[in-house]
A and B are shown apart, each in its own frame.
Chain A
Amino acid sequence: MRYPKRVLHFLGLPVLLIALWWVLTLGATNFFVPKPLELLQTFWAVWAGERFLTDFVPSVLRLLVGLGLTILLGVVFGVLIGSVRWLRSLTEPMLEFFRAIPPPVLVPLLMLLVGINDQMKIIVIISGAIWPVLLNTIEGVRAVDPVLSDTFRTYSITGFVRLRHLVLPGASPQIMTGVRQSTSIALILMVISEMFGSSSGLGFTIVLFQRAFAIPEMWSGIVVLGLLGLALSVISKSIENRLLKWYSGLKEVQHAS
């Protein structure tokens, strides 16, 4: 598709919805529903100033560190568990148990154990967001083609070279699926962990505004979260496009035949 057409598709619906919103709130007086122009002014006033450094940046840092560790730990343990059969049968019931625990309930517990600090928030993010990456990596590693595996054995390719050139690339489509799911869970958990004990961050700020009945300000915080999620998705999509170029090509060929 040509570039201008793609931009048009990307922006088309948002522009339409904002126009609709503007028309519908022209004569509205509801205190809880903001108007587009009003919200834009508030957005700029709140987030372009001091709050950018005191709340936005700490939140994003927590999210990125948490997500980075999530992916690292998920892939490392996923490769281990996926490659070693006895480890898999040993851990499978445990994984199902921990996966079933809703991560927000860990927040009060971790506040007691770790304290009210950044480490607690990062641990909350990891403990809730790791499951999609971990489980998808395990499945991806298990599903490595047996013919490719035999081929590597006949050429005596083992150890790190096998991991680097067979296991990780072979599992990469599955790993990326897990990363995408984990990213959205990490964003949610970042906000939740900041809503409980915290003195900075997006979650903290939104709750603060709500309690102070600063309704347009509260809405502007929600918009920031939406935009952050959008940015993360664009970034992960572009990484995926680069990393999995071979995969989409392969799928296209297989569908054509």
Chain B
Amino acid sequence: MPVNVLNDGERIPDNSASEPPMLSVKGLRKVYPVPGGEIEAVRDLTFDIAPGQLVCVVGPSGAGKTTLLKCIAGLLAPTSGSIELRGTKVVGPPHSMAVVFQEYGRSLLPWMSVRANIELPLKNQRIPRAERTKLVDDALAAVELSHVPDSYPWQLSGGMQQRVAIARAVAYRPEVLLMDEPFAAVDAQTRADLEDLVRHIWQKLGVTIIFITHDIDESVYLGERVLVLSNSPTVVQEDLTIDLPVDRDQLTTRSSARFNELRGHVYEQIQLAKSRTLSGPIPATKKGHKS
């Protein structure tokens, strides 16, 4: 796709002038019909994501982050606007995309071993057995779970279960990896380890990652770029480039002056987003409880 088509107007920040974007969200709007009216979960989202970028999407709870993710993943149809993956409109779950959900305990099959869980999408793609075995072994090694391939998921701790879900996504070799608050339900120490794991996998595989979180620190620590979403109804409040060094670690990065500046900035933006909705114009549609 030629570059000039993508830069139509001023709405799209020119983050990746040289390359066509991996993912392009244009004027995305999603309205849920409810009894007695409608809920506008997402009002108007427009952004591009370059190939190989690690983008964090952060916003207050109820900001329609999960709606955005489900639209990108092709699980929900947008009310208006479009999502394009490498220039092709997304109408259903694309083959080159994998999703890691927050509810790790409910996204793995409890009747299958860890290995079988990771292998199932590959089997479904009719990948030959030898290649399959290698992909699963590599993925297990990447998440440091090579020692438990025959366990059932429910025999593992929460953090380990989420690593199995990540291994399944990695073995699938997606171009785009979507992560929906994947670490919201694990303890702080495990969470730090898993954050480093995501950075590690991203650097090693060069996959495009869209990481959704409500945690400001997490978004700044992980991302090369942070998209701050406003409160419901959702628009892009801020598109921030994170200019921290590529090699990050929990101790030095998180205590650096620049990290604190950036997280302060994101925090301000989110506060602004909240107040703007409260005092801002009342949307045309009926306002209901947040999704």
Contacts and interface: CB of A to CB of B under 8 A. Distances in A.
Interface in A220-257: 246-247, 249-250, 253-254
Interface stretch (A42-50, A72-80, A155-163): A155-163
B124 A249 contact: no
Given A147-B106, A249-B152, 17 more contacts: A147-B103, A148-B107, A151-B101, A151-B107, A154-B73, A155-B93, A155-B98, A155-B124, A155-B172, A156-B121, A165-B112, A165-B120, A172-B111, A247-B110, A247-B111, A249-B155, A253-B155
15 contacts: A147-B106, A147-B107, A148-B107, A150-B75, A150-B101, A154-B93, A155-B93, A155-B121, A157-B121, A161-B124, A165-B109, A169-B109, A249-B155, A250-B110, A250-B152
B110 A246 contact: yes
Contact of A154 (B97, B152, B154): B97
Nearest to B116: A165
A156 B107 contact: no
B59 to A, nearest CB: 21
Contacts of A155: 93, 98, 120-121, 124, 172
B152 A246 contact: yes
Interface string B155-193: 100000000000000001000000000000000000000
A154 B99 contact: yes
A182 B97 CA distance: 44
Contacts of A153: 74-75, 93
B248 interface: no
A247 B95 CA distance: 31
A249 B98 contact: no
Contacts of A246: 110-111, 152, 154
A92 interface: no
A155 to B, nearest CB: 4
Contact of A250 (B75, B120, B154): B154
Contacts of A250: 110, 152, 154
A110 interface: no
A166 interface: yes
A148 B73 CA distance: 15
Contacts of A145: 106
Given A145-B106, A165-B112, A253-B155, A154 B124 contact: no
A247 B120 CA distance: 20
A161 B110 CA distance: 16
Interface string B87-110: 000000101011101010011011
Contacts of B70: 150
A166 B111 CA distance: 9
B174 to A, nearest CB: 9
Contacts of B95: 156
A135 B8 CA distance: 56
Contacts of A172: 111
Given A148-B106, A151-B101, A157 B120 contact: yes
Contacts of A247: 110-111
Contacts of B121: 155-157
Nearest to B104: A147
Contacts of A254: 154
Contacts of B154: 246, 249-250, 253-254
Contacts of B110: 246-247, 250
Contacts of A253: 154-155
Contacts of A249: 152, 154-155
Contacts of B97: 154
Interface string A165-178: 11001001000000
Interface in B70-84: 70, 73-75
Interface in B225-246: none
